[in-house]
Chains A and B, each alone.
Chain A
Amino acid sequence: EVQLVESGGVVVQPGGSLRLSCAASGFTFDDYMMHWVRQAPGKGLEWVSLIRWDGGSTSYADSVKGRFTISRDNSKNSLYLQMNSLRTEDTALYYCAKDTAGGNSRFDYWGQGTLVTVSS
């Protein structure tokens, strides 16, 4: 059974930093591209970042580019999101999501999310 479990969400002050983790199981982690998606309170889904299966390529939403860094450790079946220079508008539930292999990209499994609150 595929499982994605996010952790690391806390309350942090504006300008602070935080690292989110996503532990994956039930599939061959290093075969798949992975993503972070967030949902701010009362808002819709917003894609945040992706990382290729080997970590060789990454991409970011304009809203987080230069502040967030996605990474992965395939030996630990883990995905990470380093979040720096946090702003109040980064407050959201952060999901990790697994992409499919081949064909049109789509997110076939999602975690339950971890809550990040940026507030003074």
Chain B
Amino acid sequence: DIQMTQSPSSLSASVGDRVTITCRASQSISTYLNWYQHKPGKAPKLLIYAASSLQSGVPSRFSGSGSGTDFSLTISSLQPEDFATYYCQQTYSILLTPLTFGQGTKLEIK
């Protein structure tokens, strides 16, 4: 199975900060990488798909980059509603290998 490792596991930041979360795959997954935001009591929300494509309706302060094994999610200027847990997900060869999420990065207010 493909393992996904996110860093950091938690992060404290202030409104207006620029933050970057990284995700590393245990093998090359091309750009089969998605990012989700999850708040307590809510359904997860798709932010970025195919490593760098912004999901419709998601603010442009969110961006993604990377290919192969190394990926990142950047929030250019943190807003109060951005404090949540973020997950990367690989969807490489979905009918042949299990899909996997990273362990999550909890973004907290400093």
User: How many interface residues does chain A have, given as a range?
Assistant: 20 to 34
Select from chain B the residue with minimum beta-carbon distance to A113: B43
Contact A57 B95 (CB under 8 A): yes
- What number of B residues sit within 8 Å (CB to CB) of A? 28
Total inter-chain residue pairs, C-beta < 8 Å: 71
| B19 close to chain A: CB less than 8 A | no
**Residues 54-81 of B contacting A (Cβ, < 8 Å):** 55
Q: With a CB–CB cut-off of 8 A, which chain A residues contact B98?
A: 47, 59-62
- Known contacts: A95-B43, A111-B43. The answer to whether A44 contacts B99 by CB under 8 A is no
Select from chain B the residue with minimum beta-carbon distance to A111: B43
| Nearest CB of chain A from residue B97's CB, rounded to whole Å | 8
| A26 close to chain B: CB less than 8 A | no
Contact B101 A44 (CB under 8 A): yes
Q: With a CB–CB cut-off of 8 A, which chain A residues contact B104?
A: 44-45
Q: With a CB–CB cut-off of 8 A, which chain B residues contact A47?
A: 89, 98-101
Q: A37-B44, A108-B46 are in contact. List 11 more A-B contacts (CB 8 A).
A: A35-B99, A44-B85, A45-B87, A97-B44, A104-B31, A104-B32, A105-B91, A106-B46, A108-B55, A110-B44, A112-B42
